[in-house]
Chains A and B, each alone.
Chain A
Amino acid sequence: MRGFIIKEFYHIFRDIRSMVVLFGMPVIQVLLFGFALSTEVKNAPVAIIDHSNDQVTRAITSKLLSSGFFILADQVPGEDHIEEVFRHGKVKEVIIFESDFATKLEKDRQAGIQVIADASDPNTANLLVSYTSAIVSDYQQEYLKGMSLPVTVKTETQMMYNPALKSIFMFVPGVITILLMLITAMMTSISIAKENEMGTMEILLVSPMRPIQIIAGKVLPYVLLAFVNALIILLLSYFVLGMPVKGNLLLLLAESLLFIVMALSLGIFISTVSKSQQMAMMLSMFALMLPTILLSGFIFPIENMPLPLQVISNLMPPRWFIIIVKSIMIKGLGFHYIWKETLIIAGMALFFIALSIKKFKVRLG
């Protein structure tokens, strides 16, 4: 058994490709999701048409431009040219102050700002418009300070757990889940399929090794490596991306270990039904990767899916693990909030282990 595990490590460490997949992929993915693929909008080019050009409009303008969300892109000579600048794609949003802005505000206690956004990208347009109104209403608060207010209803929003709405809060749990799932399931299924393909399984079978020993020997190295992987991802997210770990770190690691075991048993199961390395890889990619990304709630909210897909998403182990990771890392919840999800993953692990041992062929053909 010890020899088997040592042998497995030799296989992994001597194969450049497995090393890249094991240790290159996590780093690249975390950094990609963390820095490059962000849903936040920063430095969006805006144009400002100021018909008033008084101290109030200038104050609002400087507030907008110093927020970090906008940079001044272009001078637009007048309203007639708005469509043209949008067509060129140089500007994402145009802000227009009406004439005599400060005077109207003083006298009529009311003045208008028009915001026109390029909604060919609806998400960005939405975000920009809401940033703009937030900044304007912020100014309004300051302006009204010390004045008596007419009756107003004020909504006060608070974004719990992620006040700055950072997108890495969403991505990191998803990336951890996808990587653990993919690496562990794919690597084990391929490594077992390889024994079949190379004919070495034939010799292993004609030996006193029992199926459970062969499977354990295959799996244990990957448990360790996947765990190291989880640590790398967590360290990167914590130190490089500033992702908090509000809950118990030990609990998070223990849950990750459980999820790794689940993914591994799924990998073994895949290898028992695939005849070649190639088939094992295709199965892991299409049967695991796509559903993991699409149906786990990682990118697309489960609540928005049609009912049949919602039902299917319940069968996706990553769905439950993402909830666990978010609860521990972002909300700082303890075990008694996530025991149900833990139980589901443990159940899935047991199911696949039992199935793999049963499906493992002690003979050829």
Chain B
Amino acid sequence: MPTNISIQASHITKRYGDKLALDDISFDVKKGELFGFIGPDGAGKTTLFRIITTLLLPDNGSLLVEGLDSDKDYVKLRKILGYMPGRFSLYQDLTVEENLRFFAGIFHTTPEANYELVKDIYSHIEPFKKRKAGKLSGGMKQKLALSCALIHKPEVLVLDEPTTGVDAVSRIEFWEMLDKLRMSGITIIVSTPYMDEASRCDRVALIQNGKIMSIDTPDAIRRNYGRALWAVKADDIYNLLTDLRLFKATRTAFPFGEHIHLSLTSDSVTPSEIASYLKDTGHRNVQITRIEPSIEDCFMEMMQKV
């Protein structure tokens, strides 16, 4: 295993009864990398993270974290992992401060000893340190959970959907914190169902139905989209989608908010041809703009291919 690799997964397969949760997954995460697993609910992210954190054993394949085997060396491995499960899993009846002290304690350290590492995050919630964890807002809960996962200075930080169920402002704050953490050299893997968060990662793996569809930097994934993409808008958004899907040159048409993202079978079709088709079908105030594909566009594109 090359020395700059932190996590090396090869051919991991996991089944629950008949259902294949993870299907022959292989990937490497470099040391100090912020690595994202992007995919919808049920894609297998949590199962994968539980395998990485030694909580589950794969049916097939092997996983090395910092050179430690997740099966044989699980005792050693658990000492260097920081894990934040998807569900808020701190003690709700303990205060902020008590939670932090407890989780430091089970790793034989104290909040004071590693305060530097969590300072930026913990300082947000320190004013509420006497408050019970169950009474915190969603964003503050996540900050506390992150502080608790970090308090023992782990080498690898595993965050399972940390921003799910958190308000938009707290999500942005959370990613800023991860950005800062990355500076300290810690390897971070994070999963999220929000495609727009992919751009905050060094590299992302797009995961769907237990399979990794693509692993690359967010930019490279977008560059690989490989065709023109149009955002179309009109007054009657509902009929716009059905009509666009009936258009002869339409390859894909997906709703994105108040726009419809449209890709065409041929690059020779011009926007004015689309516009005149839509006028003929009775749409008003039609706007068509060329856009750069987002990760979500790429994700939808890849799902089409599978």
Question: Does A4 contact B93, Cβ atoms closer than 8 Å?
Answer: no
Q: What residue of chain A has the Cβ atom nearest to residue B79's Cβ?
A: A208
Chain B positions within 8 Å of A4 at CB level: 102, 105-106
Question: Does A208 contact B107, Cβ atoms closer than 8 Å?
Answer: yes
Question: Does B50 contact A208, Cβ atoms closer than 8 Å?
Answer: no
Q: Specify which of A202, A207, A362 is in contact with B107 (CB 8 Å cutoff).
A: A207
Question: Does B105 contact A3, Cβ atoms closer than 8 Å?
Answer: yes
Among B85, B104, B149, max chain A CB count under 10 A is at: B85
For window 146-165 of A, CB contacts with B under 8 Å fall at: none
Q: Specify which of B57, B88, B93, B104 is in contact with A11 (CB 8 Å cutoff).
A: B93
Among A3, A10, A198, A199, max chain B CB count under 10 A is at: A3
Question: Does A206 contact B91, Cβ atoms closer than 8 Å?
Answer: no
Chain B positions within 8 Å of A6 at CB level: 102
How many chain B residues touch A (CB < 8 A): the figure is 32
Question: Does B94 contact A10, Cβ atoms closer than 8 Å?
Answer: yes
Question: Does A363 contact B55, Cβ atoms closer than 8 Å?
Answer: yes
Known: A208-B107, A363-B56. A7 touches B91 (CB 8 A): yes
Question: Does A199 contact B93, Cβ atoms closer than 8 Å?
Answer: no
B142 CB within 8 Å of chain A: no
Within the complex, the shortest CB–CB distance from A275 to chain B, in Å, comes to 16
Q: What residue of chain B has the Cβ atom nearest to residue A209's Cβ?
A: B106
B31 CB within 8 Å of chain A: no
Q: Specify which of B54, B56, B87 is in contact with A199 (CB 8 Å cutoff).
A: B87
Chain A positions within 8 Å of B89 at CB level: 198-200, 202-203
Whole-angstrom CA separation of A365 from B56 in the bound complex = 7
Known: A7-B91, A198-B89. A364 touches B56 (CB 8 A): yes
Question: Does A7 contact B98, Cβ atoms closer than 8 Å?
Answer: yes
A87 CB within 8 Å of chain B: no
Question: Does A10 contact B81, Cβ atoms closer than 8 Å?
Answer: no
A121 CB within 8 Å of chain B: no
Whole-angstrom CA separation of A205 from B78 in the bound complex = 8
B190 CB within 8 Å of chain A: no
Question: Does A203 contact B83, Cβ atoms closer than 8 Å?
Answer: yes
For window 226-263 of B, CB contacts with A under 8 Å fall at: none
B206 CB within 8 Å of chain A: no
Question: Does B102 contact A363, Cβ atoms closer than 8 Å?
Answer: no
For window 46-92 of B, CB contacts with A under 8 Å fall at: 50, 53-57, 74-75, 78-79, 81, 83, 85, 87-92
* Between-chain CB contacts (< 8 Å), 16 pairs: A2-B105, A3-B102, A3-B105, A3-B106, A4-B102, A10-B98, A198-B91, A199-B89, A200-B91, A202-B83, A202-B89, A203-B89, A206-B53, A207-B103, A363-B54, A363-B74
